[in-house]
Chain A
Amino acid sequence: MSLVAFLLIAIVGTTLALLARRWERIALTIGVAGLAAAFAAALAMDPTTRLEVGGSVLAASSYLRLFLVLGTFVGLVLALIGLVAGSRRDAPAVTLGTMGAAGLALSLPDARIAVLAITVGGMLGVLLTIVPTGARVGAGVGVRDLRAVVVSGAMAIAATAWIGRDLGELVAQPVVFGLAYLAFALAVAIRFGAIPFHILVGRLTDAVPETGLPVLLAWGPASLAIVGLAWVDSSIAPLPVDVGPERAVVVAIAVASIVLATFAAWIQDDLEHVVGYSIVGDAGVVMLAFAALDPAAWTPGRTWILAFVVTRSAFAAWAAVVRHSFWTGRLPDLRGWAIRSPLLAVALVVIVVASIGLPGFAAFQARSDLVDLAIDGPLQVLVLIATLAPILYYGRLLALGVRRLDVTSAPAVEWRPRWTAMDLTDVRGSAMRLVTANATIGITLLVLVLGVASLLTSIGAFGGPQAAAGLPPVQTLPGETTP
């Protein structure tokens, strides 16, 4: 029942928070409390749960549990950082709803329902695009995001519906299988904003606060990618049909995203754009898992997705705290940031290690395996090197951090704890002043916590590779034999 408890908490919490969005504090409180409750429910989830609901099976798994534990934990930390660094009143509710949709989708063996659930989660994300000032511009970005979500959802629905039935009397050409595969892969690429669908990423990074970007660009699309990988492995990969041209398109999207998005992140002057394109670059590796068309890509693909979403969330949180601390996200204005806030420098180094990885790390191995499986020949080495290219933009950020300040009047940065004498006649006021005075150091520490979590995920310390190796849920009702 713990899976049901998680879904109920997510659905009810999201609904209540959105109904109360007129009252900002209440909406935020419900959203944050809902995330905390969902985190507890995910921790308590029994991975062997199987139940029938409305004629369909819901089945938990170790991977689902780990995905939801990490997702709700990261979402909770991002929400707390957003409370200080600035975010949207709907951000916790959207995160909770996205996690609820992911929980439902990943527990469903029927991909046709799963893609619908993920599409619902994606629709919630448009709430983060509404800018308090300049609502029309935000609404324009939001409707374009909504268009991407619905178009990708429609493509995935059509693809899964075509193969999700008895094809024993098939009279169509096998090319149709390739088109279904391509439709789902393109749906995932559109959701991630992979190149050439990256225009939306630039707009979203302008409209959505940094702490909201991971939910829109990483966690939601990642759940669609996981469903897609299960569908491809069960429906396309075992078939003896030639899908070479379609596979070439997916490989091209993956390689273009890895190379060009990393280059774009390197040359950007705005921190939020660096975050956005870094997500697109890592999503290119996810697309390699689709391009592999090999059951051997199942485990590394899902291992990489776990590491990627947590690491990029930590990077986005770091960017949010940098903007809050230095009142800018423009890189030329951030000269000397590491000297002025050493804790942020430590956090970035941890995130860099988690993101790039080291030989022996689960994420590093998973990425290497995906490149091996998806690409042959000399291009393989080049792509493998390209996956390490994020060191370029990380190096740029770190180099800026240790550069000498060019303006002597740069504002001081609160990065050390400040203790004030407690006024016993006004304990509440004293406590509030203490919290306010240490808000920046507090969210810096939260970034550090996220960085460590991303490092542990990248290493595989939470059992990610073992969980990722588990089989996807299958459509058998309770009492039936599981194949």
Chain B
Amino acid sequence: MNPALAAVAIAILAGAVAAVFVRDARVAVLALAVVLLATPFLADPIAATSGLVARLIGAVLATYLLWIPVRDGAHPTGGSRLGWAADALVAGAAAIVGSVSHGLGAPATGPAAASAVGFALAATAIAPLLTGRDLVRVGIGLSLLLQGAVLVRVGLGGTPSALEELVIAGATAALGGAIGVLAMAARSDGTGGFALAEELPPRRRRQTDVRPDPRPAPPSEERS
């Protein structure tokens, strides 16, 4: 394996594990930034300058938009309940699976390291996506999943074209912006920080909301 690609792959994996493990939202966003900034370099050959610059700008923009709601450090994120070692093992196991199944049954035109890291990022994203109870943690999981899918695509199909790099950059920045806006909205509402609102039980029947209902409302039902 190309040593440079291996170094980039290790940096991405370390960033991903740190992003899902830590509880300080600022550190989590900075760790995610490592993933976003290093991912464009995990290709062989590396994308043309225009595409690469677009990816880096997209990564910086996404990081900045995520940084805005967390920069004061007032609210933590959930972090991993399993510990960094478990997250690292999950990422490592998925990377091995991705590496040995490179091409998925047909010759691939991209590097095996991209497939390996793509699988690892997707596996690392599962816990935040399924068990995340705050916006930053779920958002980090979504970013890792998107980058993982892009890396699997690079591993299978080779280096993306300049237009595709531009669209990937747009997706990276748009996702960062969407998470940032949602996180700002959540933290501006009450004292719960980035926590998701509690799930209410399903509403069976909504009470009248315009004219007085002559029937007495059952006490157990929610009044909207």
Chain A contacts to B: CB under 8 angstroms: 53-56, 104, 110, 112-113, 116-117, 119-120, 123-124, 126-127, 130, 134-140, 142-143, 146-147, 150-151, 153-154, 157-158, 160-162, 164-167, 169-173, 176, 269-270, 326-328, 330, 332-333, 407, 409-410
Residues of A close to B108: CB separation below 8 A: 165
Shortest CB-to-CB span from B76 to chain A, Å, is 16
Q: Count the B residues whose beta carbon is within 8 Å of the partner chain — how many?
A: 59
Selected from A139, A160, A270, the residue in CB contact (under 8 A) with B185 is A139
Shortest CB-to-CB span from B118 to chain A, Å, is 9
Find residues 175-200 in chain B having any chain A CB closer than 8 Å to their own CB: 175, 177-179, 181-183, 185-186, 188-190, 192, 195-197
Known: A140-B197, A147-B129. A123 touches B171 (CB 8 A): yes
Shortest CB-to-CB span from B148 to chain A, Å, is 7
Task: Tell me whether B138 and A143 are in contact (CB under 8 A).
Answer: yes
Shortest CB-to-CB span from B112 to chain A, Å, is 15
Majority SS of interface residues in chain B? helix
A-B contact pairs, 5 of them (CB 8 A): A136-B195, A136-B196, A139-B196, A143-B196, A165-B106
Known: A54-B163, A113-B167, A165-B106. A136 touches B157 (CB 8 A): no
Task: Tell me whether B163 and A56 are in contact (CB under 8 A).
Answer: yes
Residues of B close to A172: CB separation below 8 A: 104-106
Task: Tell me whether A333 and B146 are in contact (CB under 8 A).
Answer: no
B153 at the interface (CB under 8 A from A): yes
Task: Tell me whether B106 and A169 are in contact (CB under 8 A).
Answer: yes
Residues of A close to B209: CB separation below 8 A: 328, 330, 333
16 additional contacts (CB under 8 A) given A54-B163, A116-B164, A158-B149: A54-B50, A123-B175, A126-B178, A126-B182, A135-B186, A138-B185, A139-B183, A139-B189, A143-B182, A150-B142, A150-B146, A153-B146, A154-B145, A162-B104, A172-B106, A330-B210
Task: Tell me whether B186 and A123 are in contact (CB under 8 A).
Answer: no
Interface core residue of A113, A143, A165 (most chain B CB under 10 Å): A143
B8 at the interface (CB under 8 A from A): no
Known: A113-B167, A333-B210. A139 touches B182 (CB 8 A): yes
A174, closest chain B residue (CB): B105
Task: Tell me whether B161 and A55 are in contact (CB under 8 A).
Answer: yes
A327 to B209, CA, bound (A): 8
Residues of A close to B135: CB separation below 8 A: 139-140, 143
Task: Tell me whether A137 and B150 are in contact (CB under 8 A).
Answer: no
Q: Report the 9 A-B pairs with minimum CB-CB distance, sorted nearest first.
A: A172-B105, A54-B163, A54-B162, A55-B161, A328-B210, A161-B153, A154-B149, A135-B185, A135-B189
